[in-house]
């Protein structure tokens, strides 16, 4: 490996199991020399296998509800204590739609479910940065990254209100990223990743067809969770010190495609 994160300290939100992008990021961060704290909600920790990841990477595990300012405050205070100083990188890899889980269509949602999904998927990112900002918990030239998806810009009907959540997430990254950059020289970006077979992704209706279509549209094919982890590590490193306020597409070229020959051939088959 390249020691891209040697001496750096961070917090990684959202690792659940071996298919999680956050899980792959944690493995790669460890390989690149970083120390970090892992965190997820208490219920997600019970459902997943994050303790094994903590043991593998030598990370501490601190449960936290990312929608709770109190939990986030405790997390940041404990993490900086454990890591022995300020934070260099943070990954926000959290998303949830109750409407999707309950099979409520976009045209007839339960608005309490809508509010809950927005709080978990997007507002939690604002709350996280709020605590980091006011506690001055980030080192200069630190990096904060959240994971997004292209449904923030284009229509994917079965992605439901998660599309709105991702659009909100990206807006928060730009708006809060301005203040973080101006005041503390901290970068804030989002990565718009290819559809990836994580546990959350597979909860979307028609997900297998979704992945197949995207792969046929993308000149380089879909980006894997591990490849997304590699890209995230580059954004945590000092090689991208002036990259901020960006939504960065990591999707094999899908985001710039209108149609591909593979898709056209599929539609013109006799």
Q: Is the per-residue pLDDT at 127 higher than 80?
A: yes
222: in domain: yes
3: in domain: no
What are the catalytic residues?
A: 149, 159
**Beta-carbon contacts of residue 217 (< 8 Å; ≥ 6 apart):** 254, 257, 259, 260, 262, 263
Q: Is the per-residue pLDDT at 201 higher than 90?
A: no
Average pLDDT value for the chain: 95
Q: Kindly give the pairing relationship between strand 87-92 and strand 9-13.
A: parallel
* Region 177-184 average pLDDT: 98
Residues 93, 14 contacting (CB under 8 angstroms)? yes
152: in domain: yes
* Region 180-206 average pLDDT: 86
Q: Which residues are annotated binding-site positions for NAD(+)?
A: 14, 20-21, 94, 166
Residue 50 vs residues 43, 56, 57, 257, 259: alpha-carbon distances, Å: 12, 10, 11, 37, 39
Q: Tell me the pLDDT tens digit for each residue of 81-122.
A: 999 999 999 999 999 999 999 999 999 999 999 999 999 999
Binned at pLDDT 50, 70 and 90, residue 269 comes out as: confident
Torsion of CA 74, 145, 136, 26, to 10 degrees: 50
Q: How many domains does the chain have?
A: 1
154: in domain: yes
Residues 27 and 52: their CA atoms lie apart, in Å, by 11
The dihedrals phi and psi of 108, each to the nearest 5 degrees, come to -150, 65
Which run of H or E residues covers position 190? strand 187-193
**What's the pLDDT score for residue 42?**
95
Q: Kindly give the pairing relationship between strand 87-92 and strand 138-148.
A: parallel
Torsion of CA 12, 250, 129, 46, to 10 degrees: -40
1: in domain: no
The dihedrals phi and psi of 257, each to the nearest 5 degrees, come to -90, 145
2: in domain: no
CATH of residue 134's domain is 3.40.50.720
Closest CA to 71 of 62, 84, 80: 62
**What's the pLDDT score for residue 249?**
98
* Region 206-218 average pLDDT: 87
Provide the residue range defining the domain that includes 153: 9-268
Alpha helices in 135-253 (DSSP H): 162-184, 207-217, 225-236
Closest CA to 146 of 176, 117, 108: 176
Q: Is the per-residue pLDDT at 226 higher than 80?
A: yes
44: in domain: yes
129: in domain: yes
DSSP letters spanning 101-131: HTT--TTS--HHHHHHHHIIIIIHHHHHHHH
Residues 83, 35 contacting (CB under 8 angstroms)? yes
Q: Is the per-residue pLDDT at 64 higher than 70?
A: yes
């Amino acid at each position: 490996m390249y020691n891209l994160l040697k001496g750096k300290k961070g917090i990684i939100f959202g690792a659940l199991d071996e298919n999680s992008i956050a899980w792959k990021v944690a493995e790669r961060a460890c390989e690149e020399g970083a120390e970090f704290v892992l965190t997820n909600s208490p219920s997600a920790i019970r459902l997943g296998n994050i303790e094994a990841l903590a043991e593998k990477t030598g990370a501490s595990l601190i449960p936290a509800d990312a929608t709770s300012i109190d939990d986030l405050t405790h997390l940041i205070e404990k993490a900086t204590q454990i890591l022995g100083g300020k934070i260099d990188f943070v990954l926000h890899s959290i998303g949830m739609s109750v409407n999707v889980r309950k099979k409520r269509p976009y045209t007839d949602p339960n608005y309490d479910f809508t509010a809950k999904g927005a709080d978990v998927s997007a507002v939690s990112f604002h709350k996280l940065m709020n605590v980091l900002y006011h506690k001055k918990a980030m080192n200069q030239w630190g990096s904060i990254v959240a994971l997004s998806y292209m449904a923030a810009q284009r229509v994917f009907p079965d992605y439901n209100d998660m599309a709105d959540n991702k659009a909100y997430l990206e807006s928060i990254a730009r708006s809060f990223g301005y203040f973080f950059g101006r005041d503390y020289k901290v970068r804030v970006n989002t990565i718009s990743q290819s559809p990836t077979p994580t546990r959350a992704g597979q909860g979307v209706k028609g997900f297998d067809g979704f992945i197949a279509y995207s792969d046929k549209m993308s000149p380089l094919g879909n980006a894997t969770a591990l490849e997304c982890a590699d890209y995230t590590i580059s954004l945590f490193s000092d090689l991208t010190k002036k990259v901020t306020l960006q939504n960065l597409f990591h999707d094999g070229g899908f985001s710039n495609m209108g149609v591909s020959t593979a898709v056209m051939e599929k539609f013109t088959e006799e």
